[in-house]
Every structure is written in C-alpha cells, then in structure tokens.
C-alpha cells in the first residue's frame, strides 16, 4: 500500500492528464464511437448521401477535408505499403500526382505503424486521440524542466492538450502532430543545458523528423523557427558557445533525418500554382481577438450559429484562467524568461493578425510562409502563452502566501472590466447583428462563470489568509480547484468541437460502392465525386483537390475548359462538364466510365452524356441511385503513334492539339524531337500488363518505329525502360508521357523513382550515422571527465 501511495504521489500529474484525456476519449473506448465525422460523410458526400437510410443528425460539418483528402489519402498510403510499395505516387487524382511529396499524406509518419496493428478505423481513432495526450504529456515535461511545481505544470499541460489549434485540427491527425513535439524539443534544450547529457541532444534531433513527417510543412516550419529562437535565447542568457553549437548541430542532424520528406516536397512545391501565390490569406481581423477569451462569442460551426470569421483557422483559445495567468506572469520574478516568452508571443500575434508587419512578410515573398494561411502561426502564441500560464500560476501562489491582496485584486479587476465591457456590448446591442445577440449572450455566460468562480476562489483565499492563520491544506486545495476549473473549461471546449460518430457509418458499404470496386484499376472515371470515393476505391480521376498539384496540369485542364490557361484555381482542378474542348479531351484522357447520379437527371451539373452521338456511351451498370456508362470512343490509356509535331511554346502546343484537323489519337505534340521517322501507317499495339502506383508494365508489338503515349502526368521522377534499358521520357501533349519505341515486340516499364527521394534517404542515413558517431564521442568525452 505504501508503494502504491508513493507511486501515486510521484506520478499524480501524469495520472491526472491521463484521466482528463480518457474522459475526452471515452466515447471511443466506452460507446464504440470514433473521432470521425461519419454522419457528415453519409449525409453530404456521394454516393452515400443518396441513400435515405443514412439520413440523420450531424454534429460537426466543419471538417470536410478530413473526408475528401486526409482519410482517403491515409487509406491509399496504408494499402500501398501493404502491397509492398512506398506510396510515392497517387494515380487516382489529377491524372496522376506525387503522393508522398504532397506532404499532408504523412507517408513517413511513424504512427502509420498503428494501421498494421489495428483495423483501419481503430488505428485512425487512436492516431487522432493520441494527439492531446502526447501534447499534455510533453508540455508537462517541459514545464517541470523549468523547475516549476507539479501543480504549476498541470494547468499548461491541460490547456495545451486542448488549446484551440490542437482541438480544431485534431480530427485531421496531421497539424497537431506537427506542433505537439515542440514542448519535447524545448524540454530537450533545457535538460541539455542542465545535465549536458547527449541523450537530450538525440531527443532534440528526433523531434524534428517527428514533426516534419507529421503532415503539415507550414506548422513544422514554425516548429523549427521556434526551436532556433529558443537556442539563441539560451545562448544570450548563458553565453555558452559550445552548448549552442551542439544544439545547432543536432538540429541540423534532425533536418537530415527529415530529408526523405523535405526534398520531394520542396521539389513539388516549386512546380505548383501555390508557390507563386503571394497574398495575405486568412489574416485574423482584430475584432476576432474577443474569441481568445470567449471562443464562441461569434458563434460556433458545430451549433450552426457562427456568422463571422473562420473558426478553425483563427482559434487561439487556451482557456480563460490560463490566459489570465499568462498575463499575471509579467509580474513574475523570472522577468527575463517571462518577458522573452511574452514578447515573442506578441510578435506572433502581430504576424497572425491583419497588421502592417504581416503585409511586409507577405511582400517579402518568403516561400510557404507568404503563401499559406497567416493565422496558423497563432499556434506558437498558444504554445508560448500556455508556458507563461505556468509562471503566472507559480507567481500567484507566492503572492497568495505573501498576502499581496492589492496586486491580485488589480489583476482580477483588469479582467473584470474586460468582461464588463463585453457584457456592455451585448446589453447595449453594439457592433453585433440584432439576430445574433442571443447567440453572443449565451456563449458569454460560461466564460464569465469560469472567470467569476476562479476569481472569487483566489480572492477569498488571499482574504482568508490575510486575516487568519494559514491552514495546511488550503493552498493545495486551491491549486486542485483551479486545475479542475481549467480541465472543465478545456474539456467542454474540446468535446463541443470534436465529433464522435458511429463506427459503422465510416465509409459504409453500399450497392453503389460495390459497383465502384468492380471498376477499380487503371481505366479513368468521371462524375460528381471526390477523393472520398475516387481515391478510396481506386478509381483514377482527371480531377483533384490538393493545395499542391502540378501547375502545368491545371493549365492544361483550364485550356480544355475555357480555351486559355489563366483559369487555374489555388487548390482544385475541376473538369468542366461542358468545356470548350470537352468532347476531345474526354477521349484523350482515357475517361472510359462516366458515373451518373440518377437524381441529377439532365441538370447542368451532370455530365451531358445524352448529348453525344448515339452509341458513344453505353449503360453498363444501374442501381436505384447510380448509373455507370462506358465511353466507347475513349482512347486506350496507352497507344502507339507514328506522327508528331514539334512545339516548345506552351500556347502553341495547346492550340495545335485542339486545332481543326489534328488527330489526337494518331498524332502527338512533342517539345523535343525523338529523332525517328514519321509514318501514317498503323504502328502496332500496346497493352498494359501491370499498373501499380509506382510501376507500370506495358507490352508492345510494333510494326514500325514509333512513339508510345501514356496519358499519365509527366514528372521528372519517372524513369522509362525499354527491355530493361533506360529510355528518355518525352513530355507529350503538354503534360503527358511518351517514349520512342523500336520495331518489334518489347516490354516497356515506367518506374517512379524520384532523385529527390533517393537523396533524401541518403540524407536520412547520414543523419543517423552522424547522430550515433557524435553521441558516442560525447559519451566518451563525458566519461573521461
């Protein structure tokens, strides 16, 4: 019993974090529900939305990207791994696109191992639910490394694990992972200064790939910048050059470990439309700062009563009491530390809100930072102010012991006037639409109560101690009460947002999806469906939704739609149902199947297969909700031609392809001369024998020399081999692949093996060796001393 008591006393903060986390995650463990918006999926996304039996209430419809991108990408990633390939290429979107390099796929995340241990939806659930627990645990370790008490460490731990950023992005399983290792990295820096232990340098190195492999480059970049800022700060206050050099060196080693993800992603980023789109995106307007103290003051998407702003992108909530304590930390005796944290935190806010400083940063055209949502930097504000809340809490306990009633009263009154101002705005109906007053009033009650209860408890504790002898357990009881208040505040905030829905509604099988499975392979399909159906069921599509897609492909589709290349969008490639060159392009792209929702009828948003010549589209599948038509005129995915035209100018290539008299089936437009004779005669036959994400095998029977055309995206990472010998891949018809073929029977193989990934692997191995070698040297050096 004594050992149990000792264990509980020693580890009660971690036990408390675990209990709070279990309360949050209990719907999964106790009610067979999963942290995935399955009710949203089956009600709003085809083909499930056509089935009336799925109709029902929806909790949160504010996370569509999880359904249309993250979840199907993860499914594709794991299935490709299980087939024995690294998922480097995705053939099911954008007529083919890099997969690992798109970054949000998180192909290299070590947490993918969960999907090899548990059923997919359970692995997904654990992946999502681990985020707040790890965030809380690592924050606790960090605060303890600052030599603060266990009580002071608990408040920031609970605050960080359910802060606004981690909560609203939790369901993605990417962005939160990219930041939750930051407290562990700073912990490693602090502990290295205290102990000189090489183990903490290794931990620092490992946190970088753990972040960079997590699936969101922008957040990982903020992670890296913050690590460097802390290293510089430690150097300034310690003047220890050697420690600083070791920390920088191991940070560099961590970047080497991250190279397999970084190099392919940087390569792809330079080819995207997004890389040149420098503009202020999602900057937070200053009136939204009220939500930092009352998160639902302007409504909440979950309750469908929000009317202003972007709740997910702009959420900087860390809890009422932690925010108050963060401000109180400015009175801490540890002035250097708290002022440093506070100053950086304010600078971060200025970069996240609509300010001249942010405009200057955007105008500098900094890659990624100047092209992404500016507001996401507030995660660093949350991290810093959560740390400050620990210093504030520690100082508050000192001041309560010293009975500094006036100082504490002034602090409480400052926030009292803020809440009084907010209530005055509500009561007088200022700046708020009349029809939203009730929403604002209701959502202001709970933050006010949390502030009121916390303030009363703190104030009367000081008042009691000022007039009476201290009670032994009074301060511990106060600490526990305040910690429970913070836990309640953050739990109610997180549980309101994060949905837990029935497991059986996650990608449920239907008659229509069974029909989709029969089409899976390499023949392309077209219809009003997204990646939630196309990628998940392995249906190759010419469309796609991703922040990083190859710009040249977007230009090609834009030309088909409009006749020019100016209509590309930031994150979407959409194939117009009635585009200018639709009838030609649908065949060139090898779109063999058209998926038609029966209830769409002949409306403008449906593909007009009925307007084509009789016999062009043949009905091959029909159920109560969907029909599938086969395009009898679609070109084969691979074919041989004997004629080509040369053109280097982009506009000339496209205008030639779609000019009158140009036969897309028997002639190509190349940018480089393959040096073979041209012929009008039939060249021969090409057949796909094997089609996997990273490898395509084709058998050729050519009567003459010719060119093999494959209607998959051209990318430098692809290597072609004819009978085992490397052969140059030509960019054909603006964005596709072609290979010159000699006469006779041959085997052609396309293999996706990007140099950037290979160099990244070498970088990773170099990082491992350098970490091992340097760490061994440090261990030996320390043992000699």
Q: pLDDT tens-digit profile of 406-449?
A: 999 999 999 999 999 999 999 998 889 998 999 999 999 999 99
Q: What is the pLDDT of residue 747?
A: 97
Q: What is the pLDDT of residue 674?
A: 93
Mean pLDDT of the region 663-690:
93
Q: What is the pLDDT of residue 465?
A: 79
In whole angstroms, how far apart are CA 776 and each of 189, 198, 254, 258, 782? 19, 9, 17, 22, 10
pLDDT at 78 over 70: yes
Mean pLDDT of the region 579-587:
92
pLDDT at 274 over 90: no
Q: What is the pLDDT of residue 1?
A: 66
d(CA 161, CA 383) in angstroms, rounded, equals 10
Q: Which of 225-239, 282-296, 564-578, 729-743 has the lowest mean pLDDT?
A: 564-578
Q: Are 458 and 465 in contact (CB under 8 A)?
A: no
d(CA 48, CA 407) in angstroms, rounded, equals 60
d(CA 326, CA 414) in angstroms, rounded, equals 13
E strand residue ranges, 617-724:
617-622, 626-631, 638-641, 643-646, 667-670, 684-692, 695-702, 706-713, 718-722
Q: Are 42 and 49 in contact (CB under 8 A)?
A: yes
pLDDT more than 90, % of the chain: 83
Q: Are 657 and 664 in contact (CB under 8 A)?
A: yes
Q: What is the pLDDT of residue 10?
A: 77
Residue 525, sorted as left (phi over 0), alpha (psi -120 to 50) or beta, turns out to be beta
Mean pLDDT of the region 373-388:
94
Q: Which of 232-246, 364-378, 717-731 has the lowest mean pLDDT?
A: 364-378
Q: What is the pLDDT of residues 599-608, one digit of tens each?
A: 999 999 999 9
Q: What is the pLDDT of residue 694?
A: 97
pLDDT at 634 over 90: yes
Higher pLDDT, 566 or 163: 163
Q: Are 688 and 638 in contact (CB under 8 A)?
A: yes
Higher pLDDT, 41 or 359: 41
**Residue 373: band (very low, low, confident or very high) from pLDDT cuts 50, 70, 90:** confident
Mean pLDDT of the region 456-467:
84
Model-level pTM? Answer: 0.94
Q: Which of 92-96, 302-306, 718-722 has the lowest mean pLDDT?
A: 302-306
**Residue 577: band (very low, low, confident or very high) from pLDDT cuts 50, 70, 90:** confident
Q: Residue 558 has which token pair?
A: 């834009």
Q: What is the pLDDT of residue 737?
A: 98
CA torsion sign for 195, 198, 201, 207 is negative
Of the candidates 132, 82, 138, the one whose C-alpha atom is nearest the C-alpha of residue 112 is: 82
Q: What is the pLDDT of residues 198-252, one digit of tens each?
A: 999 999 999 999 999 999 999 999 999 999 999 999 999 999 999 999 999 999 9
Higher pLDDT, 529 or 471: 529
Mean pLDDT of the region 117-142:
98
Q: What is the pLDDT of residue 469?
A: 66
CA of residue 390 relative to chain centroid, distance: 29
For 373, phi and psi rounded to 5 degrees?
-65, 115
Mean pLDDT of the region 727-735:
97
Report the 10 Å Cβ neighbour count for 139. 31
Mean pLDDT of the region 124-129:
98
**Residue 257: band (very low, low, confident or very high) from pLDDT cuts 50, 70, 90:** very high
Q: Where in the chain are the domains? A: 2-61+103-501, 511-631, 638-753
E strand residue ranges, 23-83:
33-34
Report the 10 Å Cβ neighbour count for 269. 19
pLDDT at 7 over 80: no
Average pLDDT along the chain: 93
CA torsion sign for 66, 67, 69, 70 is positive
Q: What is the pLDDT of residues 484-541, one digit of tens each?
A: 999 999 999 999 999 999 999 999 999 999 999 888 889 999 999 999 999 999 999 9
Q: Are 492 and 446 in contact (CB under 8 A)?
A: yes
**Residue 780: band (very low, low, confident or very high) from pLDDT cuts 50, 70, 90:** confident
Q: What is the pLDDT of residue 367?
A: 77
Could you write out the three-class secondary structure of 659-686?
CCCCCCCCEEEECCCCCCCCCCCCCEEE
**Residue 681: band (very low, low, confident or very high) from pLDDT cuts 50, 70, 90:** confident
DSSP, res 696: E
pLDDT at 369 over 80: no
pLDDT at 644 over 90: yes
Q: What is the pLDDT of residue 470?
A: 64
pLDDT at 743 over 80: yes
């Amino acid at each position: 019993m004594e050992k149990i008591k000792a264990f509980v006393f020693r580890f009660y903060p971690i036990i408390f974090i675990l209990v709070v986390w279990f309360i949050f995650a209990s719907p999964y463990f106790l009610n067979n529900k999963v942290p995935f918006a399955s009710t949203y999926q089956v009600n709003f996304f085809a083909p499930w939305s056509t089935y009336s039996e799925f109709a029902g209430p929806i909790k949160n419809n504010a996370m569509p990207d999880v359904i249309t991108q993250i979840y199907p990408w993860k499914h594709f990633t794991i299935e490709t791994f299980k087939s024995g390939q690294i998922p480097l290429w995705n053939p099911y979107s954008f007529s083919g696109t890099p997969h690992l390099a798109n970054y949000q796929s998180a192909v290299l995340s070590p947490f993918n191992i969960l999907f090899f241990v548990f059923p997919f939806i359970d692995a997904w659930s654990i992946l999502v639910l681990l985020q707040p627990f790890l965030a809380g645990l690592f924050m606790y370790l960090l605060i303890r490394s600052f030599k603060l008490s266990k009580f002071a460490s608990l408040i920031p731990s609970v605050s960080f694990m359910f802060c606004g950023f981690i909560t609203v992005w939790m369901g993605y399983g990417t962005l939160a992972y990219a930041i939750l290792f930051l407290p562990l990295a700073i912990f490693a820096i602090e502990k290295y200064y205290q102990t000189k232990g090489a183990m903490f340098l290794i931990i620092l190195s490992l946190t970088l790939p753990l972040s960079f492999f997590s699936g969101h480059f922008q957040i990982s970049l903020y992670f890296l910048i913050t690590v460097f800022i802390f290293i510089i700060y430690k150097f300034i206050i310690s003047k220890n050059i050697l420690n600083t050099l070791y920390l920088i060196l191991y940070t560099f080693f961590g970047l080497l470990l991250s190279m397999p993800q970084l190099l392919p992603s940087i390569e792809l980023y330079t080819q995207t439309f997004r890389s040149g789109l420098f503009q202020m995106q999602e900057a937070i307007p200053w009136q939204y700062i009220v939500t930092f103290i009352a998160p639902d003051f302007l409504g909440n998407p979950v309750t469908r009563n929000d009317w202003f702003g972007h709740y997910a992108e702009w959420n900087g909530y860390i809890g009422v009491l932690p925010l108050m304590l963060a401000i109180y930390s400015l009175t801490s005796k540890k002035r250097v530390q708290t002022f440093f944290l506070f100053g950086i935190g304010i600078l971060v806010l200025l970069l996240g809100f609509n300010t001249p400083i942010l405009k200057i940063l955007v105008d500098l055209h900094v890659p990624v930072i100047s092209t992404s949502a500016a507001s996401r930097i507030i995660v660093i504000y949350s991290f810093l102010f959560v740390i400050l809340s620990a210093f504030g809490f520690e100082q508050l306990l000192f001041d309560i012991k010293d009975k500094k009633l006036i100082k504490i009263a002034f602090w409480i009154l400052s926030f009292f006037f803020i809440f009084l101002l907010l209530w005055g705005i509500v009561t007088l109906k200022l700046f708020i639409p009349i029809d939203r007053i009730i929403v604002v009033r209701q959502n202001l009650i709970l933050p006010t109560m949390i502030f009121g209860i916390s303030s009363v408890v703190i104030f009367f504790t000081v008042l009691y101690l000022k007039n009476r002898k201290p009670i032994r357990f009074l301060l511990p009881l106060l600490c526990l009460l305040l910690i429970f208040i913070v836990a309640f505040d953050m739990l109610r905030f997180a549980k309101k947002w994060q949905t837990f829905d029935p497991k059986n509604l996650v990608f449920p099988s239907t008659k229509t999806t069974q029909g989709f499975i029969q089409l899976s392979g390499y023949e392309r399909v077209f219809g009003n469906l997204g990646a939630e159906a196309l990628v998940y069921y392995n249906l190759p599509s010419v469309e796609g939704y991703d922040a990083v897609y190859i710009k040249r492909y977007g230009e090609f589709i834009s030309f088909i739609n409009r006749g020019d290349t100016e209509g590309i969008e930031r994150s979407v490639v959409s194939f117009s149902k009635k585009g200018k060159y639709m009838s030609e392009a649908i065949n060139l792209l090898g779109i063999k199947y058209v998926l038609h929702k029966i209830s769409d009828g002949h409306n403008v948003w449906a593909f007009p297969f009925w307007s084509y010549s009789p016999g062009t589209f043949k009905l091959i599948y029909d159920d109560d909700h969907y029909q599938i038509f086969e395009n009898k005129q679609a070109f084969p995915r691979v074919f041989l031609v004997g004629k080509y035209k040369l053109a280097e100018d982009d506009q000339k290539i496209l205008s030639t392809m779609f000019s009158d008299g140009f036969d897309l089936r028997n002639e190509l437009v190349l940018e480089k001369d393959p040096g073979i004779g041209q012929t009008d005669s039939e060249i021969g036959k090409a057949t796909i024998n094997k089609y996997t994400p990273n490898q395509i095998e084709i058998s050729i029977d050519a009567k003459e020399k010719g060119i093999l055309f494959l209607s998959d995206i051209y990318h430098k990472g692809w290597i072609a081999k004819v009978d085992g010998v490397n052969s140059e891949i030509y960019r054909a018809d603006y964005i596709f692949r072609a290979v010159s073929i000699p006469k006779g029977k041959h085997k052609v193989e396309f293999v996706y093996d990007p140099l950037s990934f290979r160099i990244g692997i070498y970088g990773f191995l170099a990082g491992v060796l350098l970490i091992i070698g340097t760490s061994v040297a440090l261990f030996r050096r320390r043992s000699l001393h």
